[in-house]
Structure 1
Amino acid sequence: MTISLDAALAQFTEQGFVLIKQAVPEAIVRTLDGAVLQLADDRAPDLTHSSFNTNHALTQVRNAANLIPEYQLLFKCRDLMSLPCRILNGSIQVLGSEVLRRDVYQQAHEPWHRDSGAFLERPYDEVNGPLHLKAQVFFTDTQPKNSGNLVLIPGSHWWPVHHKDGDYWDSANDALAHGGVPDGALVVHAEPGDAVIFGNTMWHAVLPNLTQERRSAIIRFGQAWLRPYDHHCDPAAAAGHLSPGSRLLLGYHPSEVNPVDLYKEPTTTHSWDAQ
């Protein structure tokens, strides 16, 4: 990691995001990217999971860890996993695993938004941390302008739910289609293997892509206590390629597990700080 954990945690608290350079080794990026392309070639056009996003230039694969054996290599990357583990105080689970392919597209790929819906769009809690986190790992180079760049508004994780009126965001989304962003926004120019980590209350968007296909992976993290208390995941439904550690992160537990055990050390992941 090119930044210390303490410095990264301080930046996350203040600004709501951290860009980790070379969070994933080049070999893992190449391996996973190749697997994504192979899956897309084999499964098109039935690959894209139906979602709120109707962008025809987007291929979005949900539950990717179960579909792509190589995806779980990300869970072994200390530089990627240690910060989410620290932010969530070790009480960590993977709520979602995705891969994205964003083709050339003249319009904004994603409008300005927060994640996880209105009930979780509370201001950042410095004591307890965020409920949800997202790590986006880039497989392709987004250093050039107009390459479907992720855009963040640092500090917006502190904003109340209704920080700005509809006219503000309507104007911001109109500008987004032409590469314009609000004052104070940050355009992320990432190299393959870089990762951006930010909370669900961060305002973010994706600019138009005028260069080449942009591919990335998303890991959605959450605190372990968010798991539904009486809904056990059936281990038989987990893909056979998943390691025991990956199954634990993804929420697959024996049916006889005591729900209270989900809050205790034996069923939480070990610290990536020590790896």
Structure 2
Amino acid sequence: MRSCDSIISEGAAKPQPYAITPLEEAQFRRDGYLLLRSAVPMADAAFFLGEVDRLVREANNIGAVLREPYYHEGSYKLTRILRLSTAFDQLVDHPGYFGKLVCLIGSHIQLMGSEIFVRGAAQGTITGFHTDLGAGLQKILPTDQNAFLQIKAQIFLTDLSVPDCSNFALIPGSHRMRVADSNELCMINDVNRQIGPDGSLPAQAMQVLARPGDVLLFPHSLWHAVAPNRSGRTRYSITLRYGQMALRPFERFDPILADHGRKLTPRQRRLLGDLGEEGASPYRPRFQDEIMCRDEQHSSGCY
């Protein structure tokens, strides 16, 4: 397993090693993704699915869903989900994946955004292949040694163990490939032209076969899409976006931090933007290594 020593600053307390293996890190750097089987226990995944179903029904009743221009008409998302339910607080630094994130990004990490994805029936692809974080970051690619700028954790809540159930689709190794033909939505035009009218994907693409509780980690530069959904059921998932503290977050978590009835740990508060003192710098936050790496009662990034 990789030691925390390599990401902890000189003189800081040395926590226990993270639960990431050399093979896992090598695969992530080579292929641009890591699928963590049963990272969230099945019973917990069922609980989250119930909460997601409730929130989706409420949002549809009041028209509070977001339909992006690059989604199939049967798909949409809910944003700022920590404002909608305290049930998701435990996912902010969930022990099933958080330690691996810190190994790949480093300890100067923040939660940048939170979403629920709803993927309905679609005979063709639900989204085409694209990268995240906009046109500027599309030009910045990872290297063999550098920490990653941003990693998403997608928590699957429905069964995607066979293809064409609105599976997450990706092109292995594309996170290190320069995009030559794109648009304002960061679509990979030359690859998307290879998608068949029936939603068949290019030969170099793969669909991720996942079960409830599996978690997929992937960086901003990975070329990814959503496959057709011919399963007869809606696909639900939760995505949490993590990144370097120097990046602009997608949402503000002030309402969550100001909720005194919320039982957040110091690490969860720091991930949501609580720097601990007035005027503290996001580039030099105090005790950052210790907060990110120490054991806590409800969540632990180090093992």
When normalised by structure 2's length, the TM-score is: 0.78
Change (3 A) 1:236 1:11: closer
Distance 2:271 2:235 in 1: 27
In the alignment, what sits opposite 2:237?
216
Q: How does 1:233-244 map to 2 (within 5 A)?
A: 234=254, 238-239=258-259, 240-241=261-262, 243-244=264-265
Query: 3-state SS of the aligned residue for 2:279?
Result: coil
Q: Give the Cα–Cα distance (whole angstroms) in 1 for the partners of residues 203 and 238 of structure 2.
A: 28
AA aligned to 1:159 is M
Q: Which residue of 1 aligns with 2:44?
A: 28
- SS of alignment partner, residue 82 of structure 1: helix
The question of whether the paired residues in 2 share the 8 Å contact of 1:105 and 1:210 is answered with yes
Structure 2 residues without counterparts, runs of 5 or longer: 1-18, 295-299
- Whether the 8 Å contact between 1:233 and 1:252 is mirrored in structure 2 is no
Q: Helix, strand or coil for the counterpart of 2:47?
A: helix
1:75 aligns with 2:100: no
Native 8 Å contact 1:238 1:252 kept in 2: no
RMSD (CA atoms):
2.8
The percentage of counterpart residues that share the same residue type is 28
The structural deviation recorded for 1:250 is 1.9
2:182 maps to 1:139 = no
Going from structure 1 to structure 2, the CA distance change for 1:147 and 1:238 (only over 3 Å counts) comes to: farther
- Please give the alpha-carbon distance, in whole angstroms, between the structure 1 residues aligned to 2:263 and 2:278: 20
Return the match for 1:95 from 104, 112, 134. Answer: 112
Structure 1 residues 7 and 168 mapped into 2: Cα distance closer, same or farther (>3 Å)? same
Aligned position for 1:12:
28
What is the aligned partner in structure 1 of residue 141 from structure 2?
A: 123
Q: Secondary structure at the match of 1:86?
A: helix
Partner of 2:9: none
Deviation at residue 142 of structure 1 after TM alignment: 0.5
Corresponding residue number in structure 1 for 2:247: 226
Classify 1:266/1:197 alpha carbon distance in 2 versus 1 (closer, same or farther; 3 Å). Answer: closer
Residue range with higher mean Cα deviation, 246-255 or 73-82: 246-255
SS at match of 1:128: coil
**Pair 214,235 (structure 1): closer, same or farther in 2 beyond 3 Å:** closer
Q: State the shift of 1:213 in Å.
A: 0.6
Structure-1 separation of matches of 2:170 and 2:268: 29
1:195 to 196, 215, 219: 215
Structure 1 partner of 2:16: none
Letter in 2 for 1:181: L
Cα deviation, residue 30, structure 1: 1.3
Other structure's SS at 1:100 match: strand
Determine the structure 2 residue equivalent to 1:108. 125
Of 183-192 and 194-203, deviating more is 183-192
Q: TM-score, normalised by structure 1?
A: 0.86
Given candidates 252, 256, 259, the residue that maps to 2:278 is 256
Tell me the matched-pair count.
268
Cα drift, residue 148 of structure 1: 0.5
Is the contact between residue 75 and residue 246 of structure 1 (CA under 8 Å) also seen in structure 2?
A: yes
Q: Tell me if structure 1 keeps the 8 A contact 2:93–2:301.
A: no
What is the letter of the counterpart of residue 209 of structure 2?
A: H
Label 1:167 to 1:88 Cα distance change in 2 as closer, same or farther (>3 A): closer
Give the AA of the match of 2:53.
Answer: L
What letter is aligned with 1:37? Answer: D
Displacement of 1:64 in angstroms is 0.9
User: Which consecutive residues of structure 1, in runs of 5 or more, have no partner in the other structure?
Assistant: none
